[in-house]
Every structure is written in structure tokens, then in C-alpha cells.
Structure 1
Amino acid sequence: MTGDRYRLHLVGLFRFERPTGEFIVLKSRKARAILAFLALARDHTRPRTWIKDHLWSDRGPEQADASLRQCVHEVRKALGADRDVLLASGSNLALAPDRVWVDAGDGDYLAALLAENDELPELLADLDIRDAEYEHWIRDRRTWLETRFEECNPGNRAAPVSQMPKTLQPCLIRSNGVADGVKSKIYNSVLQTLICKSIDDSGAVKLIDADVMNQLQSWESVAAFRLQTYGSHQGETVSIGASFTRESDGAVFSDAFRNLGPAETTNLQSFDVIDLINEAVHRAFDEIANLETRLPDAEISSALCVRALKSLTDYSVTSIDKADRLIARAHEIDPRGAYLSWRGYLRTFMLGEMQNKNMSTSPEEMERFIVQALEIDNANSHVLAVAAFLRSIWAVSIGEALELAERSNKLNPSNPLGISYLGMVNSHIGNLEKGYLLGKRAYALTTNGMTRSSIGYVAMRTAACAGRFSEALRVGEELRRAMPGFVAPMRMMGLLYSELGQHERAAEIEAELQKPDPDYSIKGVRAYYRNAPQMRNTALANL
């Protein structure tokens, strides 16, 4: 029902109507553009920075701020008593989603419009604004509207599915970044490079530059999404952001930003920058995983891999075996070094957590997977990070592990796995404080990560190696609550509780672990840390 909502017409000529049908006149073209921006955004919300970058990209920050405030005032004044239809917060503008109907988002309306017209109307046909970023946006959205009309045409609806191959590769479109100065352009370049590399290193996506869109086949648009980065330099601060837009329907499924203070603007690897990159990457992984629901007839290797890693809610035989079979199928569809490295990674849990019980694997099989992964792709930060982990923990080749971890971190300093395992290797060679700080940083970056438990265990381990036993126990308890079946943290926790004099707690953990593994004992763990070559320089070796 649209009778009680404001009506915003963007297809053809711009028109804004009250629920009564009365036209709302906005004299400023940029005020109308702001409403269009919001109407076509996910949840009808956009950051103020993004809007200023698309309407006043050639103006200074103060002038852009003043012009935006003036446009917002004009719209809210025109709305009168219903001024809260346009919501204005400190950093965002939004349209109240339950109070505004937008023609471009109504498939039935578009289908009826298509049936009534021989010539398709153009999006915002009367709204031309001389700003390079707006012009780029409107060209992109007009192409999107043409796709929407094709989907609404009954004769065309089945065509994309019939042309779609059985196996499909998601497409990541790199748009030109929006920036208002040299420093912002540098941040845009860093964000674009590391977000794309992180997504591609984890599995299989097809990277396409927006300027060469003829690379995108028509049937590929159903599995395509677009990355847009932006930056704005205001005084001593820099605002940076990254958004993803689904190519098939124009929905913005991620829009994250950070404000960098003066101390951070000279550090391209500050925590906020890397945190923003990882937030964007995780949103992209969610989108890739959702493709399996939207496209049930297609097999998508990267979606299979993401589903496999997300399915590890515990480390039971069943969940590990299921994840391994999914990743094996992903590799059959699209042979990638990343998939082989993940299979090697899973075998660390098969061997470590299950003590090889009920599972057919061996250290040799784990090593074979990682050797093959390195042969296929030795410039993949994930492959290098997992290889460093295996060399350090299982092969006890610390020198090679350090080289692999450093290469991983150099190729992609935003990869939490690379940061984590570089920290672990540094702890093993005696750089205890550096190892602890790297482990802590990686764990902080993986709030929603698919490998949070493994990275959390490394954070616990590096804290314990540095003698920070209470902090190690805090991380261990977090992991135990989140994943009760994860045994590795508990093995160390029993020893640490004993060392801190909490003998009842230590005895409780020892008894719990002896149920599945009668040979477990705190005494045995203490002996392991004293005798393991990679632990000789750590605080754990002295317990």
C-alpha cells in the first residue's frame, strides 16, 4: 500500500508527492539529487561524506558542508510537519523507509510502465548536475535501471537463467574511488587494493574494472557486486569509506566508514584503516555465501568455501569432515591454491583436536596440500600465512615459517591470518612482545571473522609466551564460551590456572579433558612446553 506514504518518482522526470497527491516543489537540483541518492541506497541511508563527494567533489570541505546543510534545510522545510521523513544524524542522512515509496524499487510498477510505453523512460531524465562524480553515478544507475526493466519483461525473465553456466564465478567490479585531495586518493588506492586482494586471495572472484565493463557478460551480473571507496580530507582528519552495491538490483549491502584522527592520517596501516578493510571483506563474504540461496542451480566455488569455513561452529569430526568435503568440491570446480591451503589448515584440527581419531589424515597429507597450494599460488597472502602456521607448529622449521609469514604480511598487511601467524612465529623465535602485540591486533580485527577461533588461540598463545597469563586465560575463556568443542585453548588453560594458584579450576579442566582423552594431564602439557623446540625462548618453557 502506498496511499499513506510519500511517493518519490525517479523513473522519467523527478517528482515528489505527499500522500495526498500534492506535489512538493524543490527548487534546488542538488536537493532533488540528495533524495534520489537516499532512495536508491540500501536502507535509504548514505553517509554525508559520500553525498558531498558526489555533488561538491570540486569544492572545499567547508563550502561542501554549508551547501549540504542548505539542501537539507530546503527539503525539511518543504516537508513541513513531516520533516522527520528526512532523517539527519551526525554522519548520515536517511529517508524513513516505511514512509516513502520509490518507483524504481517497485517491480510491479516498472512492469506496468514497461507495458504502457514503447520507449523506456530514463532515470532522472531532467536532473543533470555538472559534477564528475554525480555524472559517473547517474550513468551507472541508468544502466542498472535498464537491467531492472529487462527483469520485469516477462519475455526476458528466463533468459539469464537459461544462459547461466552450471558453475559460476562472482564478479567484483572496482569503481573509481571518490576523493577530494592527494591524501584521500592515497587512502582510496590502499582500500581498493587490499579489499580486492583479501577477497580474491580467500577464494575465486573475477576482478573487473568499472572502466572496462564490457568484460562483464550479461548473465554474470546476477553474481556481481561493485566496490566504491571514498575519502574526504577535512582539516587534520580524513574520513574514509567503502561500500558494496549489488549489480543486479542496485542494493547497497555494505557501507562502512572511519574517521581518522591526526595521529592516524600518516599511517596507512593504522588499526582503523585495517579494521575498515576487514569489515568490508566480511560483508563481501556474506554476499558471496548468499549467492547459493539466490542462485540454487549454480555451483559457486567461492560460496562453497565460505560456507565451509562458516560451518565450523565446533571442531567435531562431523563439522570438520563436512567443511573439508565442501572445500574439496570448490577446488574441483575451480582449482585454486587457496582451497588447498584451507584443506591443509583443516587438517591441523584433525590432527590436533581429534588426535587423528576416527579421521583418515596424516601430517604428510597436510604437508602435501600446502606444498601444492604454494606451487599454484605463492603470491597469495592466505596460502603463505597458512604455510607459515604449519611450518611453525608442525614442521618446526622456524626460519622458513618466518619468511612465509613476513611475505604474507608484506603482500597484504590487512590479512588477520597473516598478522596472527607472524605474531606466533615471532613468539617462537623469542620476540615475545612483538609476537604478543601482533597476536592481539589480529584477534581484535576478527570480531566477525570466519577464522576467529584459530586467531584467538594464537592471541592466547602469544600472550602466554610473553608471560601475560591472566590475559591469555581471558582470551581462552572467551573462546571456550564461543566454541566449547575447541580443545587447544583448554589444554593451555589448565596449566595456566595451575600456575596462577587456581588449583580447583585447573583440576576441573583436567578432569573435563580426560573424558575424551585419558592421557591428558597438566603435567604432560608442562613437559611439552619445556621440551618443544619452538617454545624454548618463551615464558611457557619455564613453568
Structure 2
Amino acid sequence: MATSTGQLHLTLILHGVFSAHYGSGLELVGLSRRGQALLAFLSQQPEMRAERARLADLLWSDRSEGQARASLRQELSVLRRVLPEGILDANRQLVWLDPTAVVADKSGSGVFLEGFDLATEGFEDWLREMRQAERPGSATPVATAAPHRARRLPSLAVLPFEEIGVAATDMFADGVVEEITGALGRVHEFHVIARQSAIAIIGEHLDVPQVAERLGVDYVVEGTVRRADDRVRISVQLVEGRDGRTIWTERFDDRLDDLFALQDRVAGQVAGQILPSLRNAEIARARTTPPESRNAYELFLTGLPHMWAHQRKSNARAIDLFDRALSIAPDYGPALAHKAWALAQQCSYIWSDNPLTDKAEALRLAQQAAQFVGEHAPSMVAVGAAVDLVSTDHDFSRTFIDRALAIDPNCAWGWMRRGWNRHYLGETEEARLSFDHAEALSPLDPFLFNIEFGRGVTYLHEDRFEECLKHFKRGMALSPGVEWAYRFIASLNIRLGRQADAEEAYRKLLAAYPGLTVRKLSDSLPPSAVENRQEFYDAMRRAGLPEE
């Protein structure tokens, strides 16, 4: 139990390794890492006080707002038991230390909070600013607030499904919910509340906003299961926690054969379709924040639609937004990975004014991102995809893409990029299976045209150029704006001996890219691209494309 401070002072050693002492030098034990971080942060604030919301955002930036506030309450309770009485106090708005009883000692050697590790971006940003400010010539930091809010991942809860037409003791719906929760929980784009917490509110007759507030989540997944003979219909919806608005809903019909296999199938389909809807909802949320106030996570999210637009100006806008995210959080893995991909895409699509420079930067960023993406599956795919487009190290890409799919087997983009990777590696059948699976997971995917292109290139290893051309034409019909693909059409027609068709494709390519030269085209194409061949460039020269 805490004892009265009397004349005791609490001394916080902030330079070198953190430690806390009181009285005649007795070291204070029992502090958690976040407890230490909270004390260090408060000691550097004016009057040693800060708002509760600021502390929750600082120390639990990876959790939902409700979870972060609950975690702060718990941490404060622990600190009050450990610290001498009167050192720490709080009300509904503020938390503070007693400035007359706390000494922040920065006189020691070593850097500020040397070796202090806390896996939350808000605290890392503050720590970086404090260390930067202590370097010679640096300005003193403004300690009252960080320039940007910390990144916080969204959270969701999968509620027990209502099962209609069966005995109350039937456990099929519970099995479906458990599989869906597990499938979503493997994805590190958001937090999934433990199933026990969702079960705990059964029978309380709460509406969705009340459930979301009670569990501290942003989104809720709910559903029903209906069974008749050997048929089952599962209806699922994703609901916005704040207002109960339905974001996505879908119905799945199947046969009751192998129950475990059915549960796996449904879980995969639900997870595969919920994730894009959830991501779009988060993008919409991020856009409601004024641009000047967006944190790294929100800037990253708002860059994604621009990257998926497959247009030159939009891609440049995506790179700018990723750069802004990195200016706030230089080691933010998703922004590093997706900027690498956007630069690689910029080269491959012949949008870059300096393709060799952009390729080198894309490779550097991908290698840097590889250290920071953790288990964020889309970012792992972006790393592998970027390396595939700017180098011949396809085994490196294979490792990252396959790891991503092991974490999230329902990532359609991952399966599409796996197809291209296997094509580069000469594994034709695996490539085709991957493209087929990508389309099955996301039949309306923005990369559907690239899935068709991928299917097409798999026929090149078999010299089936007509079949390849059919898929490329189908892909261009799906996305008429991908004019860079005329280089494929030209290359294929050369191989088929159709000179007139090849020249027509060249003319369309040149109309789309005025000023294009053989040199720029050669510098832009991926090293393993099917058209990166001498006869292709010779034909471009014959069509009148200048060398330089």
C-alpha cells in the first residue's frame, strides 16, 4: 500500500536508463513500462499535468479510444498503489504529479530515456522530439502537445450470431463466429476484441452503438444463421459503431456437408469481403479529419485510393500523402512499403520522369520497410510487389508475399501479386492458380485488369501467344485507361507476325506517351517484364521511336 510522502521527494532519472527513487535514494520498484513512460512524460509538461485524452492517445495509440481510456484508468490505479501517497492525482479531465514532491533529474550522462522501448507510436514520436531537441543547435520542444495525433488502429467485435430453426444447444453458429473471429484476428490492420468479451454482453438487449461503447470498438460484425435440411444460409453485416449504420452486408448460401470445412469456407469469404469494406470505412473516416490535423495512419489511409486509381496524377498524390505520413513517423512500415510500391508502379506504367532513380528509391524503401512492417499483411505484399517490379530478386519477394498470405489468406491483392511472382519464377501452374484465387476472393477488385494480364503472361512460357493476347484485350476492356499495356499488345503481335497490328499498338502507345524514347522505355520496364527483349526494342525503333 502507498505510504505518505511526508518530506520525501520522488526523483525521476531521465538521462541514461530510466529509474525512480524516493527518500534517501531507495529505488521504486513495481512500475510497468507504460507507468514509467507516463511519469516521464508528465514530468516534462508545464506544471507536470496533462489531459487524460492526451495520455491515452500517447501511451495506447494502437488501441481504440475506449480501450485506451480504460487502459489509462487501470494504469493509474496501479500507479496509485505503487507510488507514495500524494505524488500522483487525477480528475475526470486531467492527470498530474505534485511539482513540489517530484524532481525530474536530467543531469546524468547518456541520451534522454536511453534504451527506452515502448511499442506505441505516440510515445515514440514524443521521445524522438525530446531527443532531437537536446542535440546541439536544436530548438527546445513545445511540451504541451504533439504536432499530430498518434496513429490508432480501428477495432471491431464479432458478436454471437443468431441461429434460427435449430435447438438452443446447437453449436454450429458458434463455430462460424469463432472461425470468422480467428480469420479477422490474423489481420493486423485492426484489433479484434476477444470473443469472451463479445459473449459477455449476451442478453443485455443493447443496440449497436451501445455495444460499441460498452466494448470500446469502432465496428461491429453481426449475423444470422438459418438451416433447412442440408442447406444453410448465413447473413452477415458490418456496422458502424457510432451510429449503427450498415457499411456492408452479404448473404452466403452453402450445403451442410463437412461442418468444419463449411465453417472455414464461410469464414474465408466473410473475412475476404469485410476487410475491403472496413478499409474503405476507415478511409472515409480519415477524410473527415482536416488535412492539417491528420496523423500518419490517416495520411496513409487517404493515400490508398489515389494509389489504386491507376492514374498518373493520382499516383503522384499518393506518394505525396505517404511522404507526409513519413514526415510524422519516419519508420512507419505501411507508408514506407506503399510508397515503394507507388514508385515501382510509377516506373512500370511509364509515368516516371526519372525511372532509374525511382527504381533505386523504390528498392531502398522496400528494404527499409521490410524491417518495420511487422505482420501487416498488405504492407508485406507491397514490399514483395515493389521488389518484383524493380529488381530480379524474386525469391525475396516470394518470401514476403507468402508470409503475408500465411497471415491473411483472404488478401486478394496478395494472391494476385503471388501470381506475378510465380510467373517471374517460371512456375506457370502456380501462377494461374493464384490469379484464379485472387478473382474468386474479390470479383470486383480494382486490380481485376491486372489479374487478366497475369493470366495472359502465363501462356508465354508455352508459346501460346494468341491465348495471351485474348487475356490482355480482356484486361484492357476492364480498364481502358491502362494505356501502358499497349506495349504488351505490340510485343505479342510481333511474336504473332502481325506487323500492322503491332504498329497500330505502337501508335496508340506513342499517342499516350508523347516524347517517349527507346531509352526511357528500357529504363522504365521491370527487369523481368515479358517485353523487355531486344526484338521488342528493335520493333519500336522501326516504328519510329527515337533512341534518346
TM-score range, shorter chain: 0.5 to 0.7
Deviations 1:393-418 (A, max 9, x none): 43322333333332222111101122
Name the counterpart of 1:309: 304
Amino acid at match of 2:320: R
Identity %: 14
Name the counterpart of 2:314: 319
Q: Scaled by the length of structure 2, what TM-score is found?
A: 0.55
Return the offset for 1:285. Answer: 2.1
Kindly indicate whether residue 184 of structure 2 is the aligned counterpart of residue 190 of structure 1: no
Return the offset for 1:175. Answer: 2.9
Taking structure 1 as reference, are residues 170 and 408 closer, same or farther at Cα in structure 2, changes over 3 Å only? closer
Q: 1:509 aligns with which of 482, 498, 505?
A: 505
Taking structure 1 as reference, are residues 291 and 401 closer, same or farther at Cα in structure 2, changes over 3 Å only? closer
Q: 1:406 aligns with which of 402, 407, 422?
A: 402
Give the secondary structure class of the aligned counterpart of 1:258: strand
Distance 2:306 2:251 in 1: 29
Give the secondary structure class of the aligned counterpart of 2:426: coil
Distance 1:329 1:281 in 2: 25
Return the offset for 1:368. Answer: 2.0
Taking structure 1 as reference, are residues 260 and 465 closer, same or farther at Cα in structure 2, changes over 3 Å only? farther
Q: 1:283 aligns with which of 277, 284, 296?
A: 277
Q: 2:152 aligns with which of 162, 169, 175?
A: 169
Return the offset for 1:319. Answer: 1.9
Amino acid at match of 1:190: E
Distance 1:365 1:509 in 2: 31
Correspondence list, 1:314-463, <5 A: 315-333=310-328, 336-354=332-350, 356-357=352-353, 361-462=357-458
Q: CA RMSD in A?
A: 4.3
Contact 1:386-1:417 at 8 Å conserved across structures: no
Taking structure 1 as reference, are residues 296 and 429 closer, same or farther at Cα in structure 2, changes over 3 Å only? closer
Q: Scaled by the length of structure 1, what TM-score is found?
A: 0.56
* Structure 2: 5+ residue stretches without partners: 1-144, 164-169, 202-209, 534-548
Correspondence list, 1:43-442, <5 A: 166=149, 169=152, 171-178=154-161, 181-198=170-187, 200-201=188-189, 205-209=190-194, 224-228=218-222, 231=225, 234-261=228-255, 267=261, 274-292=268-286, 294-296=288-290, 299=294, 301-312=296-307, 315-333=310-328, 336-354=332-350, 356-357=352-353, 361-442=357-438
Alignment: residue pair count: 362
Return the offset for 1:323. Answer: 0.8
Return the offset for 1:367. Answer: 1.8
Taking structure 1 as reference, are residues 459 and 190 closer, same or farther at Cα in structure 2, changes over 3 Å only? farther
Contact 1:308-1:322 at 8 Å conserved across structures: yes
Taking structure 1 as reference, are residues 331 and 406 closer, same or farther at Cα in structure 2, changes over 3 Å only? same
Amino acid at match of 1:289: I
Return the offset for 1:251. Answer: 1.7
Taking structure 1 as reference, are residues 433 and 191 closer, same or farther at Cα in structure 2, changes over 3 Å only? same
Contact 2:235-2:251 at 8 Å conserved across structures: yes
Shifted more, 266-275 versus 317-326: the winner is 266-275
Contact 1:317-1:354 at 8 Å conserved across structures: no
Distance 2:489 2:266 in 1: 31
Distance 1:493 1:263 in 2: 46
Shifted more, 432-441 versus 485-494: the winner is 485-494
Give the secondary structure class of the aligned counterpart of 2:400: helix
Shifted more, 489-498 versus 344-353: the winner is 489-498
The structure in which a higher percent of residues are helix is 1
Distance 1:259 1:325 in 2: 44
Taking structure 1 as reference, are residues 359 and 424 closer, same or farther at Cα in structure 2, changes over 3 Å only? closer
Distance 1:465 1:275 in 2: 32
Return the offset for 1:192. Answer: 2.5
Return the offset for 1:307. Answer: 3.2
Name the counterpart of 2:95: none
Return the offset for 1:467. Answer: 5.5
Distance 2:526 2:196 in 1: 58
Contact 1:170-1:220 at 8 Å conserved across structures: no
